[in-house]
Amino acid sequence: MIIYIKNKHTLAIDDFKFKCCTGKNGKSKKKKEGDKKTPIGHFAIENLYYRADRIKKPSTNLKSIKIQKNMGWCDDPSDLKNYNKLIKINKKIKCEKLFRKDSKYDLMIPIKYNFLKPVKYRGSCIFIHLTNNYKPTLGCIAMKKKDFLIMLKLINKKTKIKII
């Protein structure tokens, strides 16, 4: 199963097409931390993270992890040990907080971009997450909740995402 992102407005899986939004500054094969671009390439996906206080556990074949208040995703390129990894929030590590006031990360799947052996400044925190308005992202792929829930039924841990 492959998720295709062929343009900045369409996420496709088999015959299903969903409206989405991508990075504010387009896509790039040479992604850099903070450039607001969505990375081009073929990537695995991670687990589903969800806000259990807002959404019941969705139906999916992905491993599902409840987002806790102390969870973050390290976006500090100078911290190679934690860069682009799930962490427990502390004041010493710069990170994207997963437990947010808005609903963007009520459902969220990290894309395994710059993941196994992260390279400094190559980019971090690239997720498939929720949107209410399809405004361009900081590099992630965002879609409406109803479409995200359908996508979750179609994909599994072997699913890849291909961003063209």
Range of the domain at 115: 2-163
Quote the pLDDT of residue 12.
96
Query: pLDDT tens digit string along 66-115?
Result: 999 999 999 999 998 999 999 999 888 999 999 999 999 999 999 999 99
Say yes or no to pLDDT of 58 above 90.
yes
Query: pLDDT tens digit string along 32-53?
Result: 999 999 999 999 999 999 999 9
CATH number of the domain bearing residue 156: 2.40.440.10
Q: Nearest-CA neighbor of 127 among 50, 28, 14, 17?
A: 50
* 139 secondary structure, DSSP code: S
The DSSP-derived string for 41-74 is EEEEB--EEE-TTTSPPP--SS-EEEPPTTEEEE
Torsions phi, psi for 23 (to 5 deg):
-55, 140
* Count of structural domains, the chain: 1
Say yes or no to pLDDT of 18 above 90.
yes
Say yes or no to pLDDT of 128 above 90.
yes
Q: How confident is the model at residue 6 (pLDDT cuts 50, 70, 90)?
A: confident
Surface-to-core class of residue 61, CB atoms within 10 Å of its CB (0-12 exposed, 13-18 middle, 19+ buried): middle
Average pLDDT of every residue of the chain: 96
Quote the pLDDT of residue 87.
97
